[in-house]
Structure 1
Amino acid sequence: MTHHAAHIRAFSDSADFDFEIRGALGASVGGAGEPGEILAAVAGIRHGEHNAWFDAWKGLADRTTATASASAKAEHHASAASAYLRASAYYGVAVNAASALAEPDAMAPTFAKQEAAWRGFVTHTSTVVEDVTIPCGGGTLPGWFFRADAAAHAPDHDGAAAPTLVAVNGSDGSRAALYAAAVVPALQRGYHVLVFDGPGQQSELFEKEVPFRPDWEHVLTPVFDTVARLDGVDAMRIAVYGISQGGYWVARALAFEDRFAAAITDPGLVDVSTSWTGHLPHGLLKLLDEGHVEKFDREMELGLKLSPETARTWRFRARPYGTKGYGETIQEVRKYTVADVAGEITTPLLILSPENEQFWPGQAEQLAALTPGVSTLVRFTEAEGADGHCQPLGRTITAQRMFDWLDERVG
């Protein structure tokens, strides 16, 4: 018998569109998508057709919201929760799509619809969920605490505290997508889960204009303090999971906050800035390194005039950092590294490493090398259909490997 090389054919001739489609299909495992309606909505849209791309996702989200509203009105709560969750995830893709439009004015109202759909899901889901307010840096962060059915998972220990997972989102992922990736498999295994918006994420960015910050120990420490006080939480069995850029924030915090019983980075991440600087000419970066910020900005401005799509993507990606000029943005993003502090991590750490990682290739292995005494590296391959950033088409495999490891430490 002969074997052919495994390769899943692209869903779009645009690498960006293909990645978004894969992520949406992967979220269907956790109920935040429906493969058929996703593929039907984006069929025929080609590279560069940004208006059609935005219209497809917003239209799908609008239709799904209408379905959810009708189910809710008829008191079909399970159907309403399902549709609201999918709609919130679809609006999340539409928000990102709006960033590539010539006039990105659609981002804010689309995000408002995403939030409304999320609230609809929280209202109608059968899972017990509580709004949580997290004191942080003189303000507060919004959180949602999902309670596992303890009686179903530990019938001999009714009323006993359960293990808890804190789920940290990435730079622009929707809450609905994070729910599918981490909350659903955690609840299935008897874990409580806290989801929240950190600085620069989701409502903190769009509603409060609070930017990212690199020192996430000042975020995850108050998050730990808050969740540890909640009823039914075993403070000795709180784990933390970070997806995409959340992998950086988790690793950074662990270097200073050692109370988490275990941690997972999906994928391993050492230096966020390489996904920015890796596409820039060496000579241009040399200008910045030598302190010629204004000249760097002029060169960037000239270059991006030739690629308005790239310019719009840059503005969207830079917005959460709270910076203005191009050079200022690169200087800020370069602060997002754990290369100098990863050796301080003492928490058991599972590092996920997908083959064909397109944003931070090789960094999972780098993080493992910096944390040899506490880390375990788990690889995901193209042959098993689980390659690419955050294994979008391998989320069931991801959950199995993550939680089998986590169960042995806090389960």
Structure 2
Amino acid sequence: MTHGSISPSAGPARRALLAAGTVLAAAGCSRAAPGPADPDRPSASGPAAPDAGQTPGAMTLFKDSAFNFNGLLALGACGRGAAEVGEVLTAVNAVNAAGLSSQSYVRTFRRLGDQLMAAPRDSAADDETRRWRALRAAQYYGQALFFVLGSDRPGDEKRLYQAGRDAWDTFCGLCDPPPVTARVPYGTTPLPVWFFRPDRSDRRRPTVILTNGSDGQNVDMWTYGVPAALDRGWNALVYDGPGQGQLLFVDQVTFTPAWEKVVGPLIDWLSRRPDVDAGKIALTGLSMAGDLVPRAAAFEHRLAAAVAMPGCVEPWRAFPAEIREILRPSRAETNAIWNKDVVPHLPAADAATLRKRFEPFSVPAMLAARRGETFTDFYTPARAVQALTVTDVVSRISTPMLVLDYEGEQFYPGQPRELYDALRSPKDYVKLTAAEGAQLHCSPMAPQTHCEVVFDWLRQRF
């Protein structure tokens, strides 16, 4: 498919392109493109959709690549106890048997989470059983949460988030030692934090601040860092920033481009603790946080090291050109195009995708989505995504940085290399590949391999 410039008067052309499904490529909710493609070639038209070669054989759980990617994330979490292979594959079979849809996916994974939070059959669960069942439940609630806006009960979004959060808190409370919890000052809405330690001593240790992406949950930070840090005798800090977790779904605080103002208070809080070596604090960023981490490092110079997983310099480019071209200098013109030429012709699945992708950037968009409606103000969230661009501040970074890339990177193709090339600080670039089962955005099937690369690099820096 080719992509051309669309003028404001070219309504029929735009409608034809949108109806063809191009919007499903928006920021990672893409369908698999027919035929082979170069998975690492940057595209002005948005992210590359992975072809069947990226998930061969048993790696293809669902025919739709968005559902498949999420299913692979759940399978990858099994290595750290945040899912169970048999549970995930049984759920996959149930979804496919019912007919793959947001509805069947949400219903199946939500039911699985509910089952795990209930007492197991024919036995009394001890604390270890309750602990690991709660962690798996948090994973499955997160799976359901991701697609709930496309189901017939989009208003369940906040309740599903809270179910996952309750499961996560149950898990944390049963850890030994349990993480220290706190509310770190940030504007008018404090940041919830979970500070994991190898033991209860006051020994000063290196500490890793784990930053989630645009739609991840706390359980993902377990898979992508907490036990890897604890196993090495380090501390790990998990938190919800603006546009994430509690701040988004409950407090209704959206993303900010000034991520250094988020990380700064976290470093302040950590530096006051007797069990933290303030000279050995690192920051990692998963998925879209591969953009947030460079921004923070450009202005927050107390970091000993930073890791972008993957490197990202302009999240706006993850949206296809047909979506980006709607945005004009004028709010009125932008919203007129959106509401007159685009929204009335969006297929239901495409509309749900866009609601999901824009909700972290606009409270009205999120509230409309929960009503099953498409937001009417495109201009505001689109500008908020644009504001995350970091190309003009990367040269300010002095912190040593590791930039990860992935074979078949489908959300930010080419951007990890752009970030690496623009860095002037000590830097390394690592590309994870299909040969090691670590292909696709964030290596969903190989988070342990992913963590080995990251934490071996951090150990050298520390």
Same fold by TM-score greater than 0.5:
yes
Instruction: Say whether residues 1:189 and 2:239 are aligned partners.
Output: no
- Runs of 4+ in structure 1 deviating by more than 6 angstroms, as ranges, are 68-71
Q: Show the counterpart of 1:329.
A: 381
> In structure 2, how many angstroms separate the alpha carbons of the residues matched to 1:200 and 1:69?
38
What's the secondary structure of 1:40's corresponding residue?
A: helix
Deviation string, structure 1 residues 22-74 (Cα, Å, up to 9, x no partner): 11111111211111111101215347522111111101111111147998xx4
With over 3 angstroms needed to count, the CA separation of the structure-2 counterparts of 1:281 and 1:293, relative to structure 1, is closer
Q: Show the counterpart of 2:129.
A: 79
Q: Show the counterpart of 2:189.
A: 139
Match of 1:22 among 72, 83, 86: 72
Q: Show the counterpart of 2:337.
A: 296
Unmatched runs of 5 consecutive residues or more in structure 1: 151-157
Written as runs of structure 1 = structure 2, the 5 A alignment for 1:348-387 is: 348-387=400-439
Q: Show the counterpart of 2:5.
A: none
Identical positions, percent: 33
Contact 1:68 1:84 in 2 (8 A): no
Contact 1:68 1:81 in 2 (8 A): no
Instruction: Say whether residues 1:148 and 2:198 are aligned partners.
Output: yes
Q: Show the counterpart of 1:154.
A: none
Q: Show the counterpart of 1:280.
A: 322
> In structure 1, how many angstroms separate the alpha carbons of the residues matched to 2:412 and 2:109?
27
What's the secondary structure of 2:179's corresponding residue?
A: strand
Q: Show the counterpart of 1:206.
A: 249
CA RMSD of aligned residues (A): 2.1
What's the secondary structure of 2:307's corresponding residue?
A: strand
Aligned length: 393
With over 3 angstroms needed to count, the CA separation of the structure-2 counterparts of 1:134 and 1:159, relative to structure 1, is closer
Displacement of 1:240 in angstroms is 0.8
Written as runs of structure 1 = structure 2, the 5 A alignment for 1:37-76 is: 37-43=87-93, 45-46=95-96, 49-67=101-119, 74=124, 76=126
Q: Show the counterpart of 1:36.
A: 86
> In structure 2, how many angstroms separate the alpha carbons of the residues matched to 1:404 and 1:50?
38
Contact 1:368 1:377 in 2 (8 A): yes
With over 3 angstroms needed to count, the CA separation of the structure-2 counterparts of 1:215 and 1:48, relative to structure 1, is same
Contact 1:12 1:18 in 2 (8 A): yes
Q: Show the counterpart of 2:43.
A: none
TM-score by length of 2: 0.81
Displacement of 1:279 in angstroms is 4.8
What's the secondary structure of 1:99's corresponding residue?
A: helix
Unmatched runs of 5 consecutive residues or more in structure 2: 1-52, 366-376
State the one-letter code of the partner of 2:257: P
Deviation string, structure 1 residues 307-363 (Cα, Å, up to 9, x no partner): 111112212221211265123322221111110001100000011100101111111
> In structure 2, how many angstroms separate the alpha carbons of the residues matched to 1:143 and 1:97?
26
Q: Show the counterpart of 1:310.
A: 350
State the one-letter code of the partner of 1:297: W
State the one-letter code of the partner of 1:213: T
> In structure 2, how many angstroms separate the alpha carbons of the residues matched to 1:218 and 1:279?
31
Say which is worse superposed, 209-218 or 75-84, in terms of deviation.
75-84
> In structure 2, how many angstroms separate the alpha carbons of the residues matched to 1:67 and 1:91?
17
Say which is worse superposed, 314-323 or 396-405, in terms of deviation.
314-323
Contact 1:271 1:339 in 2 (8 A): yes
Contact 1:305 1:311 in 2 (8 A): no
Displacement of 1:305 in angstroms is 3.1
Displacement of 1:211 in angstroms is 1.1
State the one-letter code of the partner of 2:289: G
Deviation string, structure 1 residues 195-220 (Cα, Å, up to 9, x no partner): 11101111111111111111101101
